[in-house]
A = this chain, B = another copy of it.
Amino acid sequence: MQGSILYCGDTELNGAASYLAGLMTHWGWKFDYVPSHIPMTTALLDTPRSLLILSDYPALQFSRDCQQLAIKKIEQGCGLLMIGGWESYHGLGGDWDGTMLGSILPVDIQTTDDRVNFPQSAWLLPACDHEITADRPWRTCPPAIGGMNQVRAKAAATVVLEAHAYAVKSAERQNQGDPVLSLTPQEVRPALVVGQHGTGRTASFLSDVAPHWVGGLVDWGLPRVTGQAAGGPAIEVGHDYAQLWKQLLSWTAASGTANS
């Protein structure tokens, strides 16, 4: 990667940010971190960056000047990844709709509360073949998520993952055996959408990287992976969860055409 990662949001390193920061530390990646309650500065942006990650980082923390500078960096090759949550996209206090920076994402952000909860889970499945999702056990073990932001993919963007929601119902016990659960398809929503702005790659993940919307995805795959960022608690997550984030961040940080 050319330049370091700037990771913003997920409350603080002692909170939800412990997951992604713990993974990046585990991989030996360099990154700067900005908690959700600290405003962005032009100084933080005006340094060589490979990737800007916004995850539960409210739009009100990003001044007009900072947004313009971020967009210039992305046009020049820095990647942009927004990860879902209550303070991402519209959410409940994300308010990225109608912003300059939000408008270069590969999705159209709703102007009203876009939070969708899955009390019975939804599952992630690939919508196409892509290097971000390569080598994971999607067919044999699709991971569950607990919620997401609802968006529309832009016409020129590529939907890489979809969330498949099903209604789960329990049938009567037969002959005193165990109850039997059944699945009925409900809806399919974009869960990972990728695009391009200038020479920078853009990506929208619509579920979360951390509890609670991340759901079972955080424990996806063996062996278990441990990590700990300076200033955060130790995390323990699943191998395929870690690999998916490594592949998503690596792809988005690499400038070039979004179809490669």
- Decide if A245 is an interface residue (CB 8 Å cutoff): no
- Decide if A62 is an interface residue (CB 8 Å cutoff): no
- Decide if A117 is an interface residue (CB 8 Å cutoff): yes
- Decide if A215 is an interface residue (CB 8 Å cutoff): yes
- A216-B146 in contact given A119-B141, A141-B119, A181-B123 (Cβ < 8 Å): yes
Closest to A241 in B: B119
User: In the complex, which residues 125-155 of chain A have their Cβ closer than 8 Å to any Cβ of chain B?
Assistant: 125, 138-144, 146-147
User: In the complex, which residues 110-131 of chain A have their Cβ closer than 8 Å to any Cβ of chain B?
Assistant: 117-121, 123, 125
Q: Shortest Cβ distance from A12 into chain B, in angstroms? A: 11
The stretch that binds B, out of A163-171, A194-202, A248-256, is: A163-171
Report copies per complex: 2
- Decide if A238 is an interface residue (CB 8 Å cutoff): yes
Q: Shortest Cβ distance from A251 into chain B, in angstroms? A: 23
Q: Are A166 and B181 in contact (CB under 8 A)?
A: yes
Q: Are A216 and B120 in contact (CB under 8 A)?
A: yes
User: In the complex, which residues 203-234 of chain A have their Cβ closer than 8 Å to any Cβ of chain B?
Assistant: 211-212, 214-221
Closest to A171 in B: B139
- Decide if A28 is an interface residue (CB 8 Å cutoff): no
- Decide if A3 is an interface residue (CB 8 Å cutoff): no
- Of the A-B pairs whose beta carbons lie under 8 Å apart in the complex, a sample of 20, sorted by A's number, is A118-B144, A119-B143, A119-B220, A120-B142, A120-B143, A125-B179, A139-B169, A141-B169, A142-B168, A142-B170, A142-B181, A144-B168, A144-B215, A164-B178, A181-B183, A211-B212, A212-B212, A212-B215, A215-B215, A215-B216
Q: Shortest Cβ distance from A16 into chain B, in angstroms? A: 9
- A188-B182 in contact given A143-B119, A146-B216, A216-B215 (Cβ < 8 Å): no
Q: Are A119 and B178 in contact (CB under 8 A)?
A: no
Contacts of A238 in B (CB 8 A): 117, 119
- A146-B181 in contact given A123-B168, A139-B170, A211-B211 (Cβ < 8 Å): no
Q: Are A121 and B216 in contact (CB under 8 A)?
A: yes
In the complex, A32 Cα to B240 Cα: how many Å? Answer: 41
Contacts of A117 in B (CB 8 A): 216, 219, 238
Q: Shortest Cβ distance from A90 into chain B, in angstroms? A: 15
Contacts of A141 in B (CB 8 A): 119-120, 167-169
Q: Are B185 and A178 in contact (CB under 8 A)?
A: yes
In the complex, A216 Cα to B117 Cα: how many Å? Answer: 8
